[in-house]
Structure formats: structure tokens, C-alpha cells
Amino acid sequence: IARDVDLEVVLRELQSEIQRTVAEEARTHQFLHAGVVEWNGKAILIPGQTLSGKSSLVLAFLRAGASYYSDEYAVLDSNGRVHPFPRAIGLRNSDGRPSRSVDPAELGVSTGRKPLPVGLVLFTRFRPGAGWHPRRLSPGKAVLEMLSNSLSARRDPVKVITGLQKIAATARVFKSRRGEALEVVDW
């Protein structure tokens, strides 16, 4: 799984591989590769691949007063609610290697404890100098976008699509490139 002279790097990669395997093989819940925060009783999902800027956006929301749920996986039940998947927030440097972890408790933020309905889904990718110009996605396009971040779509596509349709039917879904995270949070 990993080779490095630094044991911490190897252990971090092992932990990541274990979590990915659990996410792919889960039978009762779906896992999306996404950051999640709670704002006013609803979940904000930030789906995206590694290096898309999920963690920095999650941190910006936390600094603005949101509660922490996850920076890696959105854990969804059959009703489309998001469950907490708290862990240290993993930040990476420009070459993609993990640089440091931030414990949400160090920021003085609360960590979610109960399942939440999804109120907002933000598809975004960091680009230096880009502006935040969100466009609303239709429910069909929202499902397709979320599907590309699902870890169990190949194993059980009908179940995954059915769950994602529940989210797309009730949540507002937007997509845009972004520059600084604060512009999105202020929006």
C-alpha cells in the first residue's frame, strides 16, 4: 500500500486504504467522496476528487461557524441523510502529498453527531484566480455529477442512483470553479 522512510506517511496511507475499502464495500450506506459541513440544520455537500480543494473549503466553512461532518466521505443512508464521518482534516501540498492534518477540535468547532438532510451541494474545483460564478444544476445533472464521486456505484448502481435522486430532488445543487474559499462561503 505504501513505502516511505517516514512511518507516519505509511500509517496515513494505510488508514486511507482501510477507509476507502469500507466505503466501497458498505452495504447499508453509500459513500460519496465529499466534504460535509452542517449549516442551519442542513448538510452542505462538497463532492470532489483529491486535490479539488474540498478540505480547504470545509475549513473555510468551519471558520465561518459551520459544524464539521467530514472532509473525505459523505456517508448517506437510504433516506438521503448524511451521517458524520469525522476525522482529522487532511491537507495536501501542491504535489498532492499529505502535508498536515488539522484536528477540528483545535479550531474550536463542533462535530456533528446526528444525520442531516442535504440542503446544498456544491460542485467546485479550485483554480488560482478563478471567480465563483455558480450555475444551478437540474436534478438529472446533479445525480450524474454525484454519481462520479460515488464509491459503490459499480457494485450497486440502482441503489446508489435511487439514493442520489432523493438528494437531487430536495437540495439546491450548484457548480462552478472557484478561487479563494471565502468567496464561496460568503456567497
pLDDT in tens, the chain (187 residues): 778 887 777 777 777 777 777 777 777 788 899 999 999 999 999 999 877 888 889 999 999 999 999 988 999 998 899 999 988 776 665 655 656 677 777 888 888 999 999 999 999 999 999 999 999 999 999 999 999 999 877 778 888 899 999 999 999 999 999 999 999 999 9
pLDDT at site 17: 79
Here the cell at position 146 is 454525484
CA–CA separation, 105 and 116 (whole Å): 21
Cα four-point dihedral sign 82, 39, 111, 186: positive
pLDDT at site 1: 74
Helix axes 139-147, 157-170, angle to 10 degrees: 130
- Planar angle of CA 169, 136, 131, nearest 5 degrees: 145
pLDDT at site 72: 87
pTM of the model: 0.84
- Planar angle of CA 112, 117, 123, nearest 5 degrees: 90
